[in-house]
């Protein structure tokens, strides 16, 4: 049987290209072929660029990259959430008010990935202005279920092997939740690590670029390209040295019974293999985080979208306009400042916890993807970690009652992202979770 290049991880494909066994155009062609066959069912793409991607790949075919460490993504196709600017494809922000919008430049993240040799294949479906109102994307594991949001298309495209990786953004839980629902790896780095220049602003205090892959190592590779760090070898941590905190937290009862059981089993499995497993109590005031997040996100969003709110009001969904936007306008500066101060204190407290732990294990979503496409699910297990600015990873660890994927969340210390990824790699190996392959 012929090798299905579309199923390769970034690391596998980059290796095959570097050794001369695979041409960039062959890989891009395989991903385009796969996209064409899957797209009618999955609907991951807002814009898919056949010609441009193939042309870019063919230009790369002739270059010898085995000796070019500055192009670790040479010939690797990728997708990006359609709130990220591109100079050669439309950027429509998930709303008709930006039909055929063509920015003058690429967002910094796109330029960095292209600089590293990546081939942009297209723009993936997002919810309206990266909020609640869903796009057309369906969950590759069950087409009648939501893929999660707002980075819906990016998660689904990676799960359906249309691209080996894709960018999303997270303001609440918009990377981690769809990763869990679609059964792929999803990563939100430490707040501030990756430039958001050219990415639609929702709430500047939380907005973070994230990405979806089919392996932990790939997250590491993409991260280094996005922060313009030299490529280097990914070295898993030593499992026996790991200090794991188990954070069930105040929302634990909102996790489905099977999610809780799965997590407890995983903990029991890890316990004899690691240095320590410790139950972590939420710091005092942890319960206030979700409310503070809601206030700040609303306050900042209502102001950031002032042009849309005042000039294109009729094109905003009632849910956005009367919900987050109106809430945000009602929030006073003093309330906003108070909420910011509360979060600053929570960040100080969690930093003390993270000095004692290499990572926290915690649910990433209550359970499987919701049935229906009218809503994208509940970010209840994501809000706190986004608010605390910590790096967080969803690994496709479990199955729910209906056989759909359920993730496990690993949270690391602020700006210790590589340490988290190294730890995640040995944790998933211990749990017997491998790279993700095609759903069908």
User: What does the binding site for a second copy look like in residue numbers (CB under 8 A)?
Assistant: 87, 98, 101, 103-108, 110-112, 114-115, 192, 195-198, 201, 204-205, 227-229, 300, 302-311, 329, 332-333, 337, 340, 415
Beta strands in 68-164 (DSSP E): 77-81, 119-124
Burial zone of 87 (CB within 10 Å; 0-12 exposed, 13-18 middle, 19+ buried): middle
Q: SS3 of 371, please?
A: strand
Shortest approach of a second copy to residue 330 CB, angstroms?
11
Distance of closest approach, residue 227 Cβ to a second copy, in angstroms:
6
* CB 405 to a second copy: min, Å: 32
Name the burial class of residue 83, with classes exposed (0-12), middle (13-18) and buried (19+) by CB atoms within 10 angstroms of its CB.
buried
Long-range pairs for 140-143 at CB < 8 Å and ≥24 separation? Answer: 140/38, 140/41, 140/42, 140/182, 140/439, 140/440, 141/182, 141/183, 141/369, 141/404, 141/405, 141/439, 142/369, 142/371, 142/402, 142/404, 143/41, 143/42
Q: Which is nearer to a second copy, 29 or 92 (CB)?
A: 92
- Known catalytic residues are 81, 150, 174
Q: What does the alpha-carbon distance between residue 215 and residue 11 come to, in Å, rounded to a whole number?
A: 9
Secondary structure class of 372 (helix, strand, coil): strand
Using CA atoms, how far apart are residues 223 and 227, in angstroms rounded to an integer? 6
Q: Whole-number minimum distance, CB 20 to a second copy, in Å?
A: 26
Output 206 or 247, the one with its CB closest to a second copy: 206
Q: How far is the CB of 206 from a second copy (least distance, A)?
A: 12
In the complex, what is the shortest distance from the CB of residue 390 to a second copy, in angstroms, rounded to a whole number?
14
Beta-carbon count within 10 A of 343 CB: 22
Question: Please, which residue, 131 or 309, has the CB nearer to a second copy?
Answer: 309
In the bound state with a second copy, the residue whose beta carbon lies nearer, of 174 and 208, is: 208
Q: Which is nearer to a second copy, 181 or 191 (CB)?
A: 191
For residue 233 the two structure tokens come to: 């070898």
Closest approach of a second copy to the CB of residue 304, in Å = 4
Looking at residue 231, the DSSP 8-state letter turns out to be P
Distance CA 190, CA 289 (A): 17
CA-to-CA dists, residue 98 to 221, 232, 320, angstroms: 32, 39, 16
Residue (16 or 167) nearer to a second copy, CB: 167
Burial (CB count <10 Å: 0-12, 13-18, 19+), residue 20: exposed
Query: According to the 3-state scheme, what is the secondary structure of 145-185?
Result: ECCCCCCHHHHHHHHCCCCCEEEEEECCCCCHHHHHHHCCE
Which residue number, 255 or 295, has a Cβ lying nearer to a second copy?
295
What's the closest the beta carbon of residue 87 comes to a second copy, in angstroms?
7
* C-alpha torsion angle, residues 94, 96, 99, 103 (rounded to 10): -50
Residue whose CB is less far from a second copy, 105 or 319: 105
Number of Cα atoms under 13 Å in the Cβ half of residue 305: 29
Rounded distance between C-alpha atoms, residue 315 and residue 380, angstroms: 28
First to last CA, the chain: 16
């Amino acid at each position: 049987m012929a090798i299905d290049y579309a199923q390769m991880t970034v690391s596998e494909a980059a290796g095959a290209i570097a050794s001369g066994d695979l041409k960039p155009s062959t890989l891009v062609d395989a991903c385009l072929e796969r996209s064409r066959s899957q797209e009618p069912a999955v609907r991951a793409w807002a814009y898919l660029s056949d010609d441009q991607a193939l042309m870019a790949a063919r230009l790369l075919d002739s270059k010898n990259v085995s000796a070019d460490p500055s192009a670790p993504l040479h010939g690797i196709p990728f997708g990006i959430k359609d709130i990220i600017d591109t100079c050669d494809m439309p950027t429509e922000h998930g709303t008709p008010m930006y039909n055929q919008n063509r920015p003058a430049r690429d967002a910094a993240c796109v330029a960095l990935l292209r600089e590293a040799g990546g081939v942009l294949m297209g723009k993936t479906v997002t919810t309206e202005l990266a909020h609640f109102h869903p796009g057309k994307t369906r969950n590759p594991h069950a087409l009648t279920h939501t893929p999660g949001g707002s980075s819906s298309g990016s998660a689904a495209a990676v799960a359906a092997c249309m691209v080996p990786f894709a960018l999303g953004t997270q303001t609440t839980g918009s990377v981690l939740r769809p990763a869990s629902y679609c059964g792929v790896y999803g990563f939100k780095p430490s707040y501030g690590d990756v430039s958001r220049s050219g990415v639609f602003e929702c709430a500047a205090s939380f907005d973070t670029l994230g990405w979806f892959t089919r392996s932990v190592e790939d997250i590491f590779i993409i991260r280094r390209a996005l922060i313009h760090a030299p490529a280097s070898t990914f070295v898993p941590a030593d499992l026996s040295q790991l200090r794991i905190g188990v954070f069930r937290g105040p929302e634990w009862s909102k996790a489905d019974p099977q999610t809780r059981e799965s997590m407890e089993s995983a903990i029991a499995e890890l316990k004899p293999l690691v240095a320590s497993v410790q139950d972590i109590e939420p710091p005092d005031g942890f319960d206030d985080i979700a409310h503070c997040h809601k206030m700040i996100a609303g306050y900042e969003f209502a102001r950031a979208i002032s042009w849309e709110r005042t000039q294109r009001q009729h094109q905003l969904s009632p849910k956005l306009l009367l919900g987050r936007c109106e809430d945000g306008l009602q929030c006073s500066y003093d309330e906003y400042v108070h909420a910011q101060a509360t979060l600053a204190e929570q960040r100080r407290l969690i930093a003390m916890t993270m000095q004692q732990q290499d990572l926290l294990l915690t649910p990433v979503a209550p359970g499987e993807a919701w049935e229906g496409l009218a809503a994208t699910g509940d970010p209840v297990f994501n809000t706190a970690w986004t608010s605390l600015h910590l790096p967080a990873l969803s690994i496709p660890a479990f199955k729910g009652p209906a056989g759909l994927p359920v993730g496990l969340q690993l949270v690391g210390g602020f700006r210790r992202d590589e340490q988290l990824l190294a730890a995640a790699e040995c944790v998933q190996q211990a749990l017997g979770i491998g790279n993700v392959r095609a759903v069908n």
